[in-house]
Amino acid sequence: MEQDPPSGNRLSACTSPYLLQHAANPVDWWPWCDEALAEARRLDRPLFVSIGYSTCYWCHVMERESFEDPTIGQALRDGFIAIKVDREEHPSVDEWLMTACQVMTELTDGRASGGWPLNGFIDPHSMRAFHVGTYYPPRDAHGRPSFRRVLASLGIAWAQRRDEVIVQANRIGGIVEDVLTRIVPPVELPASLPSQVAHALLRFEDTTNGGFGGAPKFPQPCYLRLVREAARETPSLQPTVTRALDGMVCGGILDQVGGGFHRYCVDATWTVPHFEKMLYDNGQLLELLAVESVRAPDERWSAAMRRTAVWIEREMTADGGACIAALDAEVDGREGLNYLWTPEQALDALAPLDAAARQEAIESLGLDRPNFRDPHHADAPPTVVPTRRPWRSSAAIDGACDRLLAVRDARPGPRRDTKVILEWNGLLVEGLAAAGLALGDDRLVKRAAGIAEAIWGGHQRDGAWHRTRTGTVLGPPATLADVACLGLGLETLWRATGDEQWLARAVTLEHHARACWSEEGRWWASLGGDGLPVRIRSHHDGAVPSGLSAIIDLQVRLALATRDRPGGRDALDALARTIQAESGTIMANPVGLTWAVAALARAMREGLLLGSMGSHAADRPMSGASRRIVCTATGCTVEWA
């Protein structure tokens, strides 16, 4: 007999905005915790682990279609222990299950794929996934089985064909654990490595629009850092960085009205974004713009930095001074609704301006040229995502943007993910401090210092660092990337201010991070204890640097900052130990660790590595390293030239 759905579930006691979005589902959700794993083992039921984040459009869709359905809630209660995970709170859990998804799709479809929502079915006894997918529709459609059918089929398989399930779980799990714990023997690092990686990336550059690959198009700040660093030795590479930033600053991926960069564009031309805004993108893009501005001062870079900094202050600041994680992509179930304008709406908003100023703004922002039609609402009129092509500045355009923003602020706004993430705030401190230094704007540097102080005081307790905080409630333990990225921000703040406390704190963080260091000098993603079957390594950059890349960059910077000081040898020795242990990992897939390669390029350029490596071995050809690399911008595999 079907039970009445619960009026709430265990998620109502959580602080994650994403988990709270699911707190009223008729699903007996658990958060990720040891108690949930123990309950699954006690009842001998498979785990259903569903991972997403608060600004994920398709996560919202699957919730509306499936997780709000009482029938599906009943099926999950009857046959599974259902766990909801905020990927931003538990990046190691997300990486573990995403790797399983990629392994399974490679085995079944011949092509690795993944995404969010990420939904996995796991043997609780071995903690190995036996089936993983992403979005499941409510009915069979577009070659995807319905979620009901998936639940029924896997429930029967678990009950009646357990041996087959275990065989599949062991096959997938064995590969996953090998990937996530893989240790590659050390090799020699060639001095030409940064240039080689940069030229490999250039094969996938969109030389017309800027950036890498086609649609959808992501900012790829880790790639741009590497190309920028390689361009110091090979100036012909510099236009790649300039083209990418120019495309973004002039396009719709930058909110031309209110400031701040959206997460990515659905097209190749940087015109129509997927409308969520993530703190981590904005911190990294501020840093890229700041360095570009120092190299080649331009009003475009300055204006983009200033407007983005104002947006961060206005919309992303949490109580206490740190910054929240993200803004949602949709409003009232419509993607980007508050950011879009019909030509008539734009004209009405600009009516108070004089005719000449109004016309200049309309032409410059493209407000009379619709460029977006909502694919999910075919009856909606075409609308405009404001762009700025060609980029131009005037008091009329700035005034029009302010007027449009005032009108937009009266509209319903997107949901805010109010948790504060240590790693992302560290990247923002770096970006704001770099922008303040480049612009000669002490206010931005002071803002960066305020965020750093709020994080320093709010994310550690009893000597332990925590990845997230919502209000005064601390979340899971910090990862290697959390600690290292904050260290990068503090080192940048030291360069911007000359205040020694920031450098001292960065040194303290590097020492704290060594709890993730093995005796051989290899780095783990976290301290462990997160319920996973293995302790994973973080050695692949994505939208943010991996833990390995971030700690290498921090060690390079600290070695440079302290090499002429008493005790400065410690940082250099730590860097040498890391390079010796992790050189094989870097050489096995340098395009996956472009942030680390960029840091090593700086270390080689400034003479740090010669003494620590003991010779000019870096100038010799690669030895024992794979000559095949995978370009994550496109998924293509290429050979070294």
CB 331 within 8 Å of CB 337: yes
Q: How far apart are CA 320 and CA 640, in angstroms?
A: 49
Q: How far apart are CA 434 and CA 69, in angstroms?
A: 48
With a CB cutoff of 8 Å and minimum separation 6, the contacts of 219 are 211, 244, 248, 253, 261, 264, 281, 284, 285
What are 95's two structure tokens? 């990486």
Could you report the average pLDDT of every consecutive run of 10 residues in the chain (641 residues)?
A: 54 95 97 96 98 93 96 97 98 96 93 95 97 94 90 97 97 95 92 96 97 97 98 96 98 98 97 96 98 96 98 96 95 91 97 96 97 89 96 94 97 95 98 98 98 97 94 95 98 98 98 90 86 91 97 97 88 93 95 97 87 30 31 30 26
CB 230 within 8 Å of CB 243: no
State residue 610's pLDDT score: 54
User: Domains along the chain?
Assistant: 10-181 (3.40.30.10), 334-413 (no CATH)
State residue 609's pLDDT score: 76
State residue 8's pLDDT score: 65
Question: The whole model's pTM is what?
Answer: 0.93
The DSSP letter of residue 125 is T
Strand partners, 384: 341
Orientation of helix 279-295 relative to helix 299-315, angle to 10°: 150
* Rounded to 5°, angle at Cα 14 from 11 and 15: 140
| HEC string for 568-602 | CHHHHHHHHHHHHHHHHHHHHCHHHHHHHHHHHHH
CB 34 within 8 Å of CB 100: no
614 class by beta-carbon count within 10 Å (0-12 exposed, 13-18 middle, 19+ buried)? exposed
